[in-house]
Amino acid sequence: MPGMPGMPGAPPPPPGGGGGGRVAMLEAQMAQATASGNFEMCISLREQIKQAKRQDLEAQMAQATASGNFERCIQLRAELSRLV
């Protein structure tokens, strides 16, 4: 359904919020696809989850940088490097 967050044609979540909700939604879809044996969908969802996590971490980094929380930036950078 276009217009709903996480759906095709939907606007991206706002920076600093909403990205984690998209990750949770994709992970729930992954659980359903796994339970139903739809492994082709799992492959696609795995990549979408990775991308959503990366976008969420990047948004958090931008927010931490803007607020001068450089210790948090270092933590987020480490998390981001583990995703790659």
Which tens digit of pLDDT belongs to each residue from 23-51?
Answer: 999 999 999 999 999 999 999 999 999 99
Q: Is residue 29 part of a domain?
A: yes
As a whole number, the mean pLDDT across the chain is 83
Residue 17 has pLDDT above 70, yes or no: no
Tell me, yes or no, whether 14 lies in a domain: no
**Residue 2 lies inside a defined structural domain of this protein:** no
Q: What is the pLDDT of residue 18?
A: 57
Number of domains composing the chain: 1
Note whether residue 73 is domain-resident. yes
Measure Cα distances from 8 to 2, 5, 39, 51 in Å.
6, 8, 21, 15
Residue 8 in domain: no
Q: Is residue 64 part of a domain?
A: yes
Q: Which domain holds residue 60?
A: 19-83
Per-residue model confidence as pLDDT tens digits over 55-84 = 999 999 999 999 999 999 999 999 999 987
Rounded to two decimals, what is the model's pTM? 0.70
- Residue 61 belongs to some domain of the structure: yes
DSSP 64-77: HHHTT-HHHHHHHH
